[in-house]
């Protein structure tokens, strides 16, 4: 095991959709990104946590924190942060896997927003 800690992998995307539309799409992502489940849904604070159960390199699972920020009535900023369920990410392989998971979620969210998935 490495003796250093790196920041959690993060991504930020801006989209041309109202925050309410993005919120609904975000809640519809669960069946399309397996295996995940929506562990925390806080519409008041626009904060959500998806949990991916233990598998592969994340033997104790991982969490994907997602926060929504209204930029304008027609644009939303979405922030993603992946983190281990226990401990911290400390290897290049874990960083790569986490970014892959985040990118997969962004891709699915885009498909839902475009109406390609329901």
Q: Is residue 4 part of a domain?
A: no
Q: What residues pair up with 83 in beta bridges, in sequence order?
A: 63
> Looking at the domain assignment, is residue 26 inside a domain?
yes
Domain assignment of residue 106, yes or no? yes
Classify residue 118 by burial, with Cβ atoms within 10 Å: 0-12, 13-18, 19+: exposed
**Are 82 and 101 spatial neighbours (Cβ–Cβ below 8 Å)?**
yes
What is the residue range of 33's domain?
Answer: 10-114
Q: Residue 45: which pLDDT band, with cuts at 50, 70 and 90?
A: very high
Q: Which pLDDT does position 73 carry in this prediction?
A: 97
CA distance 35 to 4: 29
pLDDT digits (tens, 9 = 90+) for 95-118: 888 898 899 999 999 999 999 987
Within 8 A by CB and 6+ apart from 66, the residues are 26, 47, 48, 49, 50, 78, 79, 80, 81
- Residue 3 domain-assigned (yes or no): no
In a domain, 53, yes or no: yes
Look at residue 57 and tell me whether its pLDDT is greater than 80: no
- 2 pLDDT above the threshold of 60: no
Q: CATH code at 59?
A: 3.30.310.80
On whether residue 40 sits in a domain, the answer given is yes
Burial of 45 (0-12, 13-18, 19+ CB in 10 A): exposed
Contact 103, 23 (CB under 8 A): no
Mean pLDDT of the residues in the chain: 89
- Whether pLDDT at 80 is above 60: yes
CA–CA gap between residue 106 and residue 110 (Å, rounded)? 6
Q: What is the pLDDT of residue 48?
A: 97
Q: Is residue 55 part of a domain?
A: yes
pLDDT for the residue 84 = 87
Structural domains of the chain, count:
1
Q: In what order do the strands lie in the sheet with 75-84?
A: 10-15, 75-84, 62-72, 47-52, 37-42
């Amino acid at each position: 095991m490495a003796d250093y800690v790196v920041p959690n992998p993060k991504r930020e995307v801006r989209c041309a959709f109202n925050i309410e539309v993005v919120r609904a799409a975000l809640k519809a992502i669960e069946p399309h990104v397996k295996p995940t489940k929506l562990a925390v849904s806080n519409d008041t604070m626009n904060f959500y946590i998806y949990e991916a159960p233990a598998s592969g390199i994340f033997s104790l699972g991982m969490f994907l924190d997602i926060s929504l920020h209204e930029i304008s009535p027609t644009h939303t900023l979405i922030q993603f942060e992946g983190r281990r369920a226990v401990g911290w990410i400390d290897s290049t392989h874990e960083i790569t896997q986490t970014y892959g998971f985040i990118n997969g979620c962004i891709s699915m969210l885009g498909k839902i927003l475009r109406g390609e998935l329901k």
